Amino acid sequence: MKAHKINFVLILFLAVIMSSCKGTSSALKNKDLKTESIKAILANYTKSSPDFSSIRGRLKCLYDDGFEQQNVNISYRFKKDEVLWMSAKLAGLIELAKMKITPGNIQFYERIDQSYFDGDFKLVSSFLGLELDYNQIQNLLLGQAVREVLPESSDLLSMENAFQISTTYENEVSQILIVDAKTFKLKQQILIKNDKQIQIDYTKYQIVDNMSFPEEFLVIAGDTNDKVSLNLTYKNININDDLRFPFKIPNNFKPIKFE
């Protein structure tokens, strides 16, 4: 029996005990069993995470805001935990925008409106409706939980072929993770705050240099009245190359201002 099957049996066993335990003095309390079950799931989930120093490739993106659709090709470069660089082109030929993100700064320009932004994470947070930082954006793109899971303050639900882990944070943000019971990869994650929501569906993964990365995923962000969806497909992933991150805001572009 493979290791992941043994781990699944162990976690399922803990979940069954958790639902049937009556709280006798010789048994663990339900809360303790729930916490240990979540920790076991997270341990296997962490083992399945890719370990790399840099990555580059292309993203095919279908943008849909309910009024128009647009196909965009994106070249991307990561230096893990340090910098994310993206260049978007229409039909692979006409540059639309370029972006460079570090843990403390976002730089972005858009050629059609001849506008740019150089500042903190208000741009991304405003677009998605939820506050995000560099690590959370990196996690989203790599198929990892956007926010850290807190086992002691999370709920666990055993589903068919999956586990659901729900966490509520102090700032009124809730996170729901759907974890595949066999691979321990994320199938879906949802972030909710008031009427704002981000949903990410990871529909397909791929193996590159013995590591698992998302291949196809769907991001839906907004509220009941205004939603944007991004259908993303990773292409040509290359691992641990030496990378450069060229970025220069063109002359005469106007700054984007936030009220």
For residue range 112-123, list pLDDT tens digits in order.
889 998 988 876
Q: What sign has the CA pseudo-torsion 118, 120, 122, 125?
A: positive
Q: Is residue 97 part of a domain?
A: yes
- Token pair, residue 12, equals 């399922």
Q: Is residue 127 part of a domain?
A: yes
Q: What is the mean pLDDT of residues 81-97?
A: 85
Q: Is residue 49 part of a domain?
A: no
Q: Is residue 84 part of a domain?
A: yes
pLDDT tens for residues 145-160? 999 998 888 899 888 8
The pLDDT-based confidence of 45 (bands split at 50, 70, 90) is confident
**Phi and psi, residue 41, nearest 5°:** -60, -45
Residue count of the chain: 259
CA nearest neighbour of 228 among 61, 60, 65: 65
Q: Is residue 251 part of a domain?
A: no
Q: What percentage of the chain has pLDDT greater than the value 70?
A: 83
pLDDT tens for residues 13-42? 444 433 333 334 333 346 667 788 889 988
DSSP string, the chain: --HHHHHHHHHHHHHHHHHH----TTS--HHHHHHHHHHHHHHHHHHTS---SEEEEEEEEEEE-SS-EEEEEEEEEEETTTEEEEEEEETTTEEEEEEEEETTEEEEEETTTTEEEEESTHHHHHHHTS---HHHHHHHHHT--SS---GGGEEEEEETTEEEEEEE-TTSEEEEEEEETTT--EEEEEEEETTEEEEEEEEEEEEETTEEEEEEEEEEEE-SS-EEEEEEEEEEEEES--------PPTTPEEP---
DSSP-assigned beta bridge partners for residue 56: 77, 238
Q: Is residue 30 part of a domain?
A: no
The tally of domains found in the chain comes to 1
- Token pair, residue 80, equals 């893990």
Residue 166's pLDDT is 94
DSSP-assigned beta bridge partners for residue 86: 76, 99
The pLDDT-based confidence of 244 (bands split at 50, 70, 90) is very high
pLDDT tens for residues 139-192? 989 999 999 998 888 899 888 889 999 999 887 889 999 999 999 999 999 999
- Flag whether pLDDT at 111 surpasses 80: yes
- Token pair, residue 25, equals 């003095």
**Phi and psi, residue 93, nearest 5°:** -125, -45
Domain of 231, CATH number, reads 2.50.20.10
Residue 176's pLDDT is 95
Range(s) of the domain holding residue 220: 54-143+185-241
Q: Is residue 74 part of a domain?
A: yes
Q: Is residue 112 part of a domain?
A: yes
